Amino acid sequence: MYYKSTRDSSLKKTSAEAIVAGISIDGGLFVPEEIPSLSLDEIKAMSDMTYPERAAFVFSKFLTDFTDAEIRYCTESAYNDKAFDHASITEISHLFDGTYVLELWHGPTCAFKDMALQILPYLLTTSLKKTGIDKKVVILVATSGDTGKAALEGFADVEGTSIMVFYPEDGVSAMQKKQMTTQDGKNVCVCAVKGNFDDCQNGVKAIFTDDDVKAQLAAKGKVFSSANSINWGRLAPQIIYYISAYADLAANGDIALGEKVNITVPTGNFGNILAAYYAKRMGLPVNKLICASNANNVLTDFLTTGVYDRNRHFYTTVSPSMDILISSNLERLLYIMTGSDELIRDWFGKLSSEGRYEVTDDVKAQLREEFAAGCCDDDATKATISEIYGKYSYTLDTHTAVAVRVYEDYRKATGDTTKTIIASTASPYKFGTAVLEAICGSAPADEFDKVDKLHEVSGYDVPASLEALRTKEIRFTGSVDRDAMKAFVLTEADKI
């Protein structure tokens, strides 16, 4: 199977080439030429498999240029009980009748990004070998918090790679900062930038496309790559857990094999919900995909009107990983729906020049058929955390709370009682301030007092990785001006 660029259908790559490249040279994203199918018998058979076996089975349909042994090496290296606190990798909690919370945060950094970033380094190094590129990869990451730590954990001490993470000096939570600046590993480097997330992101993008830096790196046998969700190697692993959760629910008799479920996803860059759409298109019995947003509700408007308009106020919310106005992976969805690179070039050209585009009536009809969408603000998010805690003694993080609220609103508005999987994307320990404010009315100032308080309130074990931070030494204290990022990369790349 080959992968095409959303902006040039004639451009074809193997999956290994697409994973190494990250983004296509025309600015487009790689999508599989066709969507492989999945039968109910195959879903049934998965219930007897371990998570790495399930993952290998699904990957074998997408990464057809990988051998079975290569795929198994990747899935077994990534999904094991050294990295994850459950051998089952994910967990399903029953919330209220017919509502299942799929906990995707049992990995080393307590957010769902581990599900993809634990395996990406193995997919990437295997892809490098397969494509005969005998270079060391330097992963550059700009982060507003979760991605940086998950990428560091994934790439730390992985042979043939090094990783540099830039975060906004005052733009991440104290816990996120501590997670990153204490990172172990010989091949890692973390640096604060005097600026906001956009400064980090723009700085990294400028370095990626700087021919001078690339030439200097190439002379030393190194090449840049990316670990964010534009890379197919990050999206593909996310398809697996929806299929795996369905297989478990069917095996336990919570649903009948073949029964349709809804899937609700707290959404930012549209990667996680797009993975659910792929699972549906493969044949997973899915009714509606429910897209949940916070006050940054550009996707709610888009999915209900067909007009994407990023010209609006940017809100800083208690669910910061969803504070985003440009959802990159929407480009993949629209390409699948239209099959037209010409329309994609037109729309995404307009998005960068005017900040706005409107899709065709045909696409609007498909969006209405496949998706429902809703949003809620911080007050509603906190009220939901408090409500669910009070009724079910279950402690939600802020992102998952947005999804629960939007799902409850959807259910009330439509009367649709189809059983529903809600993607839970972070441990409440990661966003302790807002969670404690919601449940107790206030939160202690110190990060580890928050951890203790949350343990008392929720009864959940403190994740070992967060517990270890208490006494962990800070390794990275540096910060640079935006203009100094390039020079920093050139000197540091030699050291790691």
Ligand X SMILES: *Cc1c(COP(=O)(O)O)cnc(C)c1O
Here the tokens at position 347 are 């729309």
How many angstroms separate the CA atoms of 454 and 326, rounded?
A: 33
CA angle centred on 486, ends 213 and 216, rounded to 5°: 20
| Residues contacting 329, CB < 8 A, separation 6+ | 29, 229, 230, 235, 269, 270, 271, 274
Instruction: Compute the distance between CA of residue 140 and CA of residue 118 in angstroms, rounded to an integer.
Output: 16
Positions in 206-235 near ligand X (CB under 6 A): 229
The smaller minimum CB distance to ligand X, of residues 38 and 403, is found at: 403
The window from 32-40, 206-214, 265-273, 478-486 that contacts ligand X (CB under 6 A) reads 265-273
CA 175, 203, 29 angle in degrees (round to 5)?
Answer: 95
408 lies in the binding site for ligand X (CB under 6 A): no
* 4, 13, 113, 450: the active-site residue: 113
Q: Are strands 3-5 and 8-13 parallel, antiparallel or unpaired?
A: antiparallel
Q: Are 383 and 438 in contact (CB under 8 A)?
A: yes
Amino acid at 281: R
Among 52, 266, 374, 428, binds ligand X (CB under 6 A): 266
What part of residues 416-435 is at the interface with ligand X (CB under 6 A)?
425-426
Tell the smallest beta-carbon distance from residue 144 to ligand X (Å): 9
Q: CB under 6 A: which stretch of 3-11, 35-43, 206-214, 260-268 binds ligand X?
A: 260-268
Query: In angstroms, what is the minimal distance from the CB of 271 to ligand X?
Result: 3
User: Nearest 5 degrees, angle CA 237-CA 238-CA 239?
Assistant: 95
Return the structure tokens found at 70: 């290569």
Q: Closest distance between ligand X and the C-beta of residue 36, in Å? A: 21
Provide, rounded to whole angstroms, the least separation between the CB of residue 270 and ligand X.
5
Binding mask 133-152 for ligand X (x = CB under 6 A): -------------x------
**Least separation in angstroms between CB 135 and ligand X:** 29
Report the DSSP pairing between strands 479-481 and 420-424.
unpaired
Q: Is 350 assigned a catalytic role?
A: no
Cβ closest to ligand X, residue 99 vs residue 425 = 425
**Site size toward ligand X, by CB under 6 A:** 16
E strands present in 195-238 = 222-226
Residue 242 or 488 with smaller CB distance to ligand X: 242
Angle at which helices 271-282 and 330-338 cross, to 10°: 30
Comparing CB distances to ligand X, the nearer of 19 and 43 is: 19
Q: How far is the CB of 290 from ligand X (least distance, A)?
A: 13
**In angstroms, rounded to a whole number, what is the distance separating the alpha carbons of residues 293 and 155?**
30
Interaction of residue 270 with ligand X, rule CB under 6 A: yes
Q: Cβ 239 to ligand X, closest distance in Å?
A: 12
Q: Per CB under 6 A, does 113 bind ligand X?
A: yes
Stretch that binds ligand X, among 130-138, 262-270, 352-360, 455-463 (CB under 6 A): 262-270
Q: What is the per-residue binding string for ligand X in 296-325, x denoting contact by CB under 6 A?
A: -------------------------xx---
Handedness of CA 147, 150, 152, 154 (dihedral sign): negative
Contact range with ligand X by CB under 6 A, out of 18-26, 134-142, 270-278, 459-467: 270-278
CA distance 23 to 59: 20
With contact defined as beta carbons under 8 Å apart, do 306 and 363 qualify?
yes
Taking the alpha carbons at both ends of the chain, their separation in whole angstroms is 36
Nearer to ligand X by Cβ, of 62 and 488: the residue is 62
Nearest to ligand X of 106, 136 (CB atom)? 106
Of the candidates 23, 51, 6, 1, the one whose C-alpha atom is nearest the C-alpha of residue 345 is 6
Residue ranges in contact with ligand X by CB under 6 A: 111, 113, 146, 229, 266-272, 321-322, 399, 425-426
Active site residues: 113
